[in-house]
Structure 1
């Protein structure tokens, strides 16, 4: 069992997006859905033989490209993201932050979406639209589908709303 969806949204995703001046309910739900499909909201953080890690299962190469190709051209945003990272761990092992620092992983995952040329997030996006964004902009491998995203979202995110 992973982290409670509403707690994760309230105490990690929302404050992180606010620090990046990117607060929006739709962005929160996209990130929540991403964590739901990628790791069942943190039920597992690393799979043997995989190069992805953390609650969002971000690939280390993607992490590096976000810094080298996106944040390098946006120093003010880079400073905000660096401020979310741990002081020491980020310097020693930056990829470990994707697993051990939920706010940092959230910020970098958000930027993985934002940097994609096809990314636009309309207000009031449906779960299907969120799933399509995830598939086109984040998880382009064939091992999971849009329907998998919708199913996991309904199981872990919408069920959390029903209980709350």
Structure 2
């Protein structure tokens, strides 16, 4: 799926951050840049979604952070599909762009060095 920059920003990133009560220009720009760089230069075998987030980071985020932040967890969970998420949450990172954006933002808040490292890896992959 190819999104324009405006679609990514206006339809996915901004409304997601607003729903999380975390919207500001810096957070919006960060997520747009991370998504665009991943789409252009990312390791799509390892990180198949919109952002460079794998199942291990996804689980770690839920187990070590969101489990202890019920308000944020509830808002993020509200973006996920109702039934399938409970059986297998990881495909949400590929098929549900607003959920993936919320997870990317939460991951940046909790594990900033890990996402910065992935972002740096993508930057060095540019020619």
* TM-score normalized by the length of structure 1: 0.68
Residue 92 of structure 1 corresponds to 87
- For these two proteins, the number of residue pairs brought into alignment is 126
Q: Which runs of 5+ in 2 are unaligned?
A: none
Which of 76, 89, 111 does residue 81 from structure 1 map onto? 76
Which of 100, 105, 110 does residue 100 from structure 2 map onto? 105
Separation in 2, partners of 1:45, 1:103: 21
Shift of the 102–115 alpha-carbon distance from structure 1 to 2, 3 Å rule, reads same
Shift of the 46–54 alpha-carbon distance from structure 1 to 2, 3 Å rule, reads same
Aligned residue for 2:122, secondary structure, equals: coil
Separation in 1, partners of 2:20, 2:60: 19
Aligned residue for 2:60, secondary structure, equals: helix
Shift of the 45–138 alpha-carbon distance from structure 1 to 2, 3 Å rule, reads closer
Shift of the 35–94 alpha-carbon distance from structure 1 to 2, 3 Å rule, reads same
Question: Which protein shows a greater Rg?
Answer: 1
Residue 38 of structure 1 corresponds to 38
Residues 94-124 of structure 1 show CA distances to partners (whole Å, capped at 9, x for unaligned) of: 00000000000000000111113xx5xxxxx
Q: Which runs of 5+ in 1 are unaligned?
A: 120-135, 152-164
Separation in 2, partners of 1:16, 1:102: 9
The answer to whether the aligner puts 1:62 opposite 2:57 as a matched pair is yes
8 Å CA contact 1:45–1:55 kept in 2: the answer is no
Separation in 2, partners of 1:101, 1:6: 18
Which of 105, 117, 123 does residue 140 from structure 1 map onto? 117
Shift of the 99–45 alpha-carbon distance from structure 1 to 2, 3 Å rule, reads farther
Residues 46-69 of structure 1 show CA distances to partners (whole Å, capped at 9, x for unaligned) of: 42xx2x221113111000011000
1:139 Cα deviation after fit: 4.5
Q: CA RMSD in A?
A: 2.5
Aligned residue for 1:109, secondary structure, equals: helix
